A and B are shown apart, each in its own frame.
Chain A
Amino acid sequence: MKRKVFMWKKLIDWIKKLWCNILCLCWKPPKYEPEKWNDNNGIQLNNNCYNYACNIQTGTYAQPGQATGNMYSSIGCNEVSDDAVSDGLTKQDCDQTCPNCCHKVALVVAPGYDYHWYRQDDNGMWSHKPGGTPATNLDNSGNPINDPRTADRGPYTVFCGCFCVCKCKVKIT
C-alpha cells in the first residue's frame, strides 16, 4: 500500500514537472505588475522580497532554505546564498543573462541583521518589495533601479551577487 502511494506521488510530481516544462516553452521574464502584489492586505503583507524576487506568492513570508530545511542561522552573503541555492536558485554573473525559462535576481544584506532581494523584469529594469510594503521599481532615493549594485539600498550595504530563478526548479516556503 505504502509503495503504491509512493509511486502515485512520484507520478504526480513527474506530471507536474512535465506540465511546468511545457508551459515554460512560452515563458517570459516577469513583468513589473505591482498591482498583483499591492493589495494592502493578505498578498502584500504575507509575501516578502524573496517571494517577489522568485515571483512566487506563497503567503508565508518565504525564507531562503526553509523549503529544504537549510535555513540560515546568521545573516551574511554566504549563509543566505547557500540557502537560496538549496531552494534551487543558481548563482550567476550579474553581467550575464539567465538561460531560457529563468529570470535574474540579486541578493544584498545588512550583515547580521537582514537580507533583501531584487528581481530583473522583462524591460531590463529592476524592482523589489521591501518586506510587507508595496512592490516598487524605485530605490531608497526614489530613482528607477537599472542596476541593484549601484542603487540606494539603505542599510543593505553589502551586495552579495546575482542568481537565476528557473521556473520548475525553484521551491520556496
Chain B
Amino acid sequence: MKSNELKIEGMIDIFSGRPNPKWPLSNEQVDELKTKLGKLPMAKPVMPPGLGYRGVLVTNLSKDQRIPDGIKVYNSILTIVDSGRTSYYEDVNNIEEWLLEQARKLGYGDAIKKFREWSHKSI
C-alpha cells in the first residue's frame, strides 16, 4: 500500500450474522464530510438497540488529517473518536442521511428501511 493511499471506509452497522456492508469514501466525499463536521452543538450519547439498525460508521484507516479517527452516527447523534477521546454532537448537518444515501446507492436501501423501522420500535 502506498503511504499516501486514501483508505476511509463507511459501514452500516446493521447485521448480526452476515458482515456489515462497507464501502470506500472518495477524496471528494472526505472533503464534504470535513465540511459537514464543521461546527456542531454538543449532545448526550444515545444507545442503539442490540438487533437492528445501529447507525453508520466512518473509519479513518489511513489517518487522514481532514477527519477524526472514527465517526459513528445513530439517531442524529454523532459519536466522534479522535486521539482516544470520545465526544458527542448533534447531527445538524445530516451526516447520517448523507452516509445512508451512499449505502442506498450500493443496493442496501431495502435492508436499511426494514432494520431502521425495527430500531425505532426498540428502546
Contact = CB atoms under 8 A, between A and B. Distances in A.
Interface of A: 48-50, 61, 63-64, 75, 80, 110, 113-117, 128-133, 136, 138-142, 152-156
B50 A138 contact: yes
A154 B51 contact: yes
The dominant DSSP class at the A interface is loop
Interface string B6-20: 000000011111111
A141 B19 CA distance: 24
Interface residues of B, number: 23
Contacts of A156: 16, 51
A116 B17 contact: yes
Contact of A50 (B14, B17, B122, B123): B17
Contacts, number: 81
Interface of B: 13-20, 49-52, 54, 110-111, 114-115, 117-119, 121-123
Contacts of A110: 114-115
B122 A154 contact: yes
A132 B52 contact: no
B50 A115 contact: no
A132 B20 contact: yes
- 6 closest pairs, A vs B, by CB? A154-B51, A154-B52, A155-B118, A115-B17, A116-B16, A140-B122
Contacts of B52: 140, 154-155
Given A131-B13, A140-B123, A116 B51 contact: yes
Contacts of B117: 155
A141 B122 contact: yes
Q: Which of B13, B50, B52, B119 has the most CB of A within 10 A?
A: B50
A133 B115 contact: no
